[in-house]
């Protein structure tokens, strides 16, 4: 389980990912908040995925950046596809 600094950095990165994705697809308001929440859930799903795959090419502290970023992007794309 990641420590407090890793959770804060994960929260910041996932919020940045969600806001950037919302700006790229041109949605605002309720959908922007939804993208930030989905990005956070996807980013947190990267932790167990990294443990299961035993791959972590780039790690900042306890955060598997590559896996978490990819899963976060996929989760936001799915949310966009279902018109969340």
Residue 2 reports pLDDT greater than 70: no
pLDDT band for 1, please (50, 70, 90 cuts). low
Longest dimension (CA), the chain: 38
CA nearest 35: which of 52, 60, 53, 16? 16
Find out whether 65 and 59 touch, Cβ atoms under 8 Å: yes
Domain boundaries along the sequence of the chain: 4-81
Question: What pLDDT shows up at residue 18?
Answer: 92
> The dihedral of CA 9, 10, 15, 21: what is its sign?
positive
Give per-residue pLDDT as tens, 35-67. 999 999 999 998 888 888 877 778 888 888 888
Question: What pLDDT shows up at residue 7?
Answer: 85
């Amino acid at each position: 389980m990641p420590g407090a600094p890793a959770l804060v950095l994960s929260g910041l990165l996932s919020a940045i990912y969600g806001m950037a994705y919302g700006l790229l697809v041109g949605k605002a308001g309720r959908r922007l908040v939804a993208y930030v929440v989905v990005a956070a859930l996807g980013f947190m799903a990267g932790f167990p995925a990294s443990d299961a795959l035993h791959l972590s090419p780039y790690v900042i502290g306890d955060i598997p950046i590559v896996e978490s970023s990819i899963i976060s992007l996929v989760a936001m794309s799915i949310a966009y596809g279902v018109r969340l």
